Chains A and B, each alone.
Chain A
């Protein structure tokens, strides 16, 4: 589904990523792990079109998407969430998710301003769709609260609901469990599995080893900008190189 080939990223004098390649199978939950500074978020930023890579290609469903802007990628059904959640703080939860449905709607500036009948109908559809995704993540009771006032755990769920509203075929999550307590992390695991059951391919960068080993079908390990290993959770747990690099760490 997603192929990353020879991705290299050099910032100034620092080589953040060195010829990283791997591929993601459709329908899998894939984890990308590695010690801090391994280049995981940089990799995500390149795949999701936020950074320009120094070399290498990204292929999505057979199409070369290297260097495409994030909004083009959203229209190609790829979406991502952020490590430091980037909520639209001045809008309500419902409005946040409604923005997620931007690619699923099309009323332009004039149609909206002149309240053309088709734009009114579309608005109703957007609102209903957004509610549905709030329900999916279990935060409907807060629908009219301002996103800026949310506790962190709920904010994470909102960001996920918002990303799902794009109806992506693949979602990249950057450390979704960061800052969550163990109860919230378990709920997150369930949520991710339910997302996979919808047919969406999930790729996550994570530090929480229990979560990763629990739900991931495959794992890619990065260290110091290079791919160290790739395989099933069992294979990774038993790989001597990975253990040498860092396993048993954190949390």
Chain B
């Protein structure tokens, strides 16, 4: 049976629409998307996943960071149409899966978030860093998160939190 709203069959598409099939937060997604809509707007407006924030919509601030096939990407510089065939993870999916638990705990313990508008992107960037399994100096951590603007914390506590998770993992 076809779903009249979400059936991506080509003959139902308008001129300005694109059919996509992707994996979003571990679940299959079949959808018609507006050709001009960027991924962050799609996630926020169509999927109501509002944990991905928009700070600049021109690729500088990093607030809209999501994971595409496990790597960080700017949600504002990616068209929703571009995720077809790919896996997208947002703050909601990663938080619910428990994959961010250590980072969240260390961020919270150090108050490494104030207004927290940057935090979704910052956590996903830190998650990517940790996924490398490499060792990182403080300067390396600072460099790695330098695509994510935080206007509140001064970064010191964020670097501490990431370092703490690296140390925890080295122990275990």
Q: Do the two chains belong together in a single complex?
A: no
A: which residues have CB within 8 A of B?
A: none
